[in-house]
Amino acid sequence: MTLPTVPADPRLIDQGCPLIDVRAPVEFAKGALPGAVNLPLMDDDERHRVGIAYKEQGQEAAIALGNTLVTGAVKDTRVAAWRDYLARHPDAVIYCFRGGLRSQIVQQWLADAGVIRPRIEGGWKALRQRLMARIDAAADQPLLVVGGLTGCAKTVLINRLTNGVDLEGFAQHKGSAFGRSPEPPPCQIDFEHRLAQRLLSLPGPLVVEDESRQIGQVNVPLNFWGAMERAPRLRVEMPLDWRLAQLQRDYILDLEQSYQARYGPEEGWQRMSKQLGNALLRLKKRLGDARLQRLQRLQALAFKEHEHGNPQAHEAWLAPLLTEYYDPMYRYHLKRQQKAGVDEVHVGDWESCLAAARQWSLDQAALD
């Protein structure tokens, strides 16, 4: 019986096709395809032992060992897991690293149990290459970058656009020392795959936020980053009080809610306050000892007030952090861009920048 295959087509990702990743958990953790669930043929220890047998004795010995390790009740349990998932997702597709032996074994065992499903030709590796090619191709699309001082709600603006690409969202990091999420950050591969998945549905003009190449623990792919560096910009300008209110929501209230949802009220509070304290400490070299100590005192007082129902007290350390650190740093960055001749298509308040981004997108689409 010939086991069916499907091409490594990015439309599988764009259309949200359920995927069964039969690689070992350690492989899955290093990066999977979007929409995949890990139901491995072998666990990490089994894979390690089979790998040694393959290197020392060849493929036949490795297959024989694999059949010995994954047999009887172990085999039955894994087949049952695949069948259960397929009962809930009958259109799911199977893949391993290269679409070879492991996915074929899973197919065959399922076929023996009366279930026929295809595997991806070339597996994870082939489809990843197609996804990375999509990111590289996006570097040639019209691109607009949204800049502005910290607290201008640039990410909110990006997410109000049908063609916005939220790099911070894919990185699960707000792009500053204070931007860590309580959720574990993605690995580089998963970040790239999330970006590619978004780009699959956006063949026209794109709008992104002005970012450093590194966002949290991941890096923007080089070709796409180069396009961002060359792209025209619009700049959001909002008064300090407005920006402080935005930061209060993003870095205090929303962060507190996220931590407490994940860890419970008490532990969540402790983790959030520790994160914000450590974030200040990471700026020690740039702030200098005296300024750091002053901000730490203000932050500690703000947390005491917060515990008594006054989160507004955080403005006491957020305001000088903006005016003495983030604002000068951004203005220096802006001057470098202006000296380099970067085109600014619009400068204005948040609403006018949202309208300008939409108009730019319409104008660019009309040129195609």
Catalytically active residues are 96
Tokens of 299: 């932050």
> pLDDT tier at 177 (50, 70, 90 boundaries)?
confident
Question: 61: pLDDT confidence band, cut at 50, 70 and 90?
Answer: confident
Q: What is the mean pLDDT of the chain?
A: 93
Is the pLDDT reported for residue 56 higher than 90? Answer: no
Confidence of residue 350 (pLDDT cuts 50, 70, 90): very high
Q: Closest Cα partner for 216 from 195, 246, 186?
A: 186
SS3 228: helix
User: Please, which pLDDT band fits residue 339 given cuts at 50, 70 and 90?
Assistant: confident
Look at residue 340 in the predicted model and tell me its pLDDT: 84
Q: With pLDDT > 90 as the criterion, what percentage of the chain qualifies? A: 82
pLDDT class of 357 with cuts at 50, 70, 90: very high
Is residue 2 pLDDT above 90, yes or no?
no
> Which of 15-29, 133-147, 166-180, 203-217 shows the lowest per-residue confidence on average (mean pLDDT)?
166-180
Q: Following DSSP, what letter does each residue of 324-363 receive, concatenated?
A: IIIHHHHHHHHHHHHHTT--EEEEE-HHHHHHHHHHHHHH
The pLDDT of residue 70: 86
Residue 192: pLDDT band (50, 70, 90) is very high
Tokens of 364: 């660019």
Taking residue 32's Cβ as centre, other Cβ atoms within 10 Å add up to 21
Query: Is pLDDT at 126 greater than 90 in this prediction?
Result: yes
Q: Which domains does the chain have, with CATH numbers?
A: 5-131 (3.40.250.10), 141-367 (3.40.50)
pLDDT bucket at 342, cuts 50 / 70 / 90: confident
